[in-house]
């Protein structure tokens, strides 16, 4: 947990730098596909996912370490070949877990967040789930366990495999010649994120594209069909916590409202998006029918809101960096209190981006939480040892943030409603 936190501290500034470079390049080319609010929402989503991973809020039903100790043919040494085998095995595991998340109703809930952006850029790569609270697919690493790949090697390769999926979330890199036959490229992944009927549920590979070609899910990007991005039931919110559970909430409602027990039980395992007969008429949800003619969410924002969203995101990243750097020092159960503070911070900031009246309530809740932590622990999780007076800075910041949210609600958002 502590080691992964330190790894994230290294990778976060790299990802942010690349996102800024993509933004500047888009301005230069007059092809900017990175709206500020959309990018901030994506980064906020990445924070929630990394927070969940760091705090270990997940359940593994079957451990890889148990598998390798019970089914391995023979123990092996940590050679270069073993790392290569591990990488290919993880990519095979990634292909099938990814494909099943697209094809089975209840599994889509944990993956919808990644597709929720109606843009396609490096920032949207950070839209990762917090709803994946259980690892159901560790059994897909059975081939690696059979070959005796040590658990330590799998643990090392897994984050590397994830980070290598960042680069191809862009519209600026076109087709890459012979690499198109081997690797997942930006062109292949644009197809995967598209909601055009020609592209839907294709190209599930994560590093190698040959899995899609072997198992019949490959689709080339067509010059005549420009990809349109998003999900067919649009999220219509910038709040990553809400997006993470939107589909699950709809499934629960539909299962409760279903008249037949067969539907109540099987809805979870039906193809993604399936609903009982006539439910689209009885209980309609917003759905994109014409992918070439729909209004993207949240395009009309003032410069003030955009700049404030960037400031809030950067301050949240500072809070996160301090947590990841001091996990062992902060200790249990305080790290969960800290994690809850960050989640409330992202929730309140996202509510403001959604122009929701609840933003002020959540900002005030965060202020009360910050004051409570400092009163109870006499410090902001040891920050006073770094520089004196830090507790007062945290309280002043939370108070100022609450007042700014109140300003937006009473002035800019009310004005937009009148217009």
Quick one: pLDDT at residue 36? Answer: 96
Where are the chain's structural domains?
Answer: 2-215, 303-418
Highest mean pLDDT: which range of 41-55, 125-139, 308-322:
308-322
Give SS3 for 43: helix
pTM of the model: 0.92
Quick one: pLDDT at residue 419? Answer: 35
d(CA 410, CA 393): 26
Range 132-161 burial, b when 16+ CB lie within 10 A, else e: beeebbbebbbebbebbbbbebbeebbeeb
Range 36-64 burial, b when 16+ CB lie within 10 A, else e: bbbbbbbbbbbbbbbbbbbbeeeeeeeeb
Which among 401, 407, 52 has a CA at the least distance from the CA of 244?
Answer: 52
Give tens-digit pLDDT for 198-248.
999 999 999 999 999 999 999 999 999 999 999 999 999 999 999 999 999
Q: Compute the average pLDDT of residues 42-53.
A: 92
The pair phi, psi for residue 346, each rounded to 5°, is: -70, -40
The pair phi, psi for residue 170, each rounded to 5°, is: -155, 150
Average of per-residue pLDDT values in the chain: 91
Q: Compute the average pLDDT of residues 16-31.
A: 95
Give tens-digit pLDDT for 164-189.
999 999 999 999 999 999 999 999 99
**71 vs 184, residue with greater confidence:** 184
Rg of the chain on CA atoms, in Å: 23
Assess contact for 133 and 57: CB atoms under 8 A. Answer: yes
Assess contact for 119 and 38: CB atoms under 8 A. Answer: yes
């Amino acid at each position: 947990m502590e080691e992964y936190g330190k790894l994230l501290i290294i990778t976060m500034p790299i990802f942010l730098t690349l996102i800024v470079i993509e933004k500047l390049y888009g301005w230069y080319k007059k092809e900017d596909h990175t709206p500020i609010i959309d990018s901030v929402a994506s980064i906020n989503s990445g924070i929630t996912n990394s927070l969940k991973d760091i705090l270990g809020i997940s359940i593994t039903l079957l451990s890889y370490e148990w598998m390798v100790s019970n089914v391995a043919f023979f123990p092996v040494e940590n050679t270069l070949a073993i790392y290569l085998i591990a990488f290919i095995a993880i990519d095979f595991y990634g292909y099938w877990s990814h494909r099943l998340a697209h094809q089975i109703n209840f599994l889509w809930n944990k993956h919808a967040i990644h597709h929720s952006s109606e843009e396609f850029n490096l920032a949207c790569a950070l839209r990762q789930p917090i709803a994946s609270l259980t690892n159901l697919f560790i059994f897909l690493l059975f081939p690696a366990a059979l070959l005796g790949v040590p658990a330590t090697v799998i643990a090392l390769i897994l984050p590397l495999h994830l980070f290598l999926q960042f680069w191809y979330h862009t519209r600026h890199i076109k087709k890459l010649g012979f690499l198109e036959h081997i690797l997942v490229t930006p062109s292949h992944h644009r197809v995967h994120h598209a909601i055009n009927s020609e592209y839907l549920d294709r190209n599930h590979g994560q590093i190698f594209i040959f899995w899609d070609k072997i198992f019949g899910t490959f689709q080339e990007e067509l010059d005549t069909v420009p990809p349109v991005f998003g999900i067919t039931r649009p999220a219509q919110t910038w709040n990553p916590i809400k997006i993470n559970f939107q589909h699950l909430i709809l499934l629960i409602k539909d299962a409760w409202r279903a008249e037949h027990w067969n539907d109540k039980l099987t809805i979870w395992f039906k193809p993604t998006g399936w609903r009982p007969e006539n439910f689209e008429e009885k209980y309609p949800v917003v759905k994109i029918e014409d992918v070439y003619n729909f209004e993207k969410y949240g395009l009309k924002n003032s410069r003030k809101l955009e700049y404030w969203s960037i400031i809030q995101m950067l301050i949240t990243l500072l809070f996160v960096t301090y947590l990841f750097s001091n996990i062992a020092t902060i200790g249990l159960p305080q790290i969960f209190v800290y994690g809850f503070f960050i989640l409330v911070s992202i929730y309140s900031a996202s509510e403001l981006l959604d122009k929701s009246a609840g933003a002020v309530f959540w900002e005030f809740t965060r202020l009360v939480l910050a004051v409570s932590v400092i009163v109870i622990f006499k410090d902001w999780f040891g920050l006073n040892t770094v520089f004196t007076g830090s507790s007062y800075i945290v309280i002043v910041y939370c108070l100022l943030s609450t007042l700014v949210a109140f300003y937006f609600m009473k002035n800019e958002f009310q004005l937009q409603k009148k217009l």
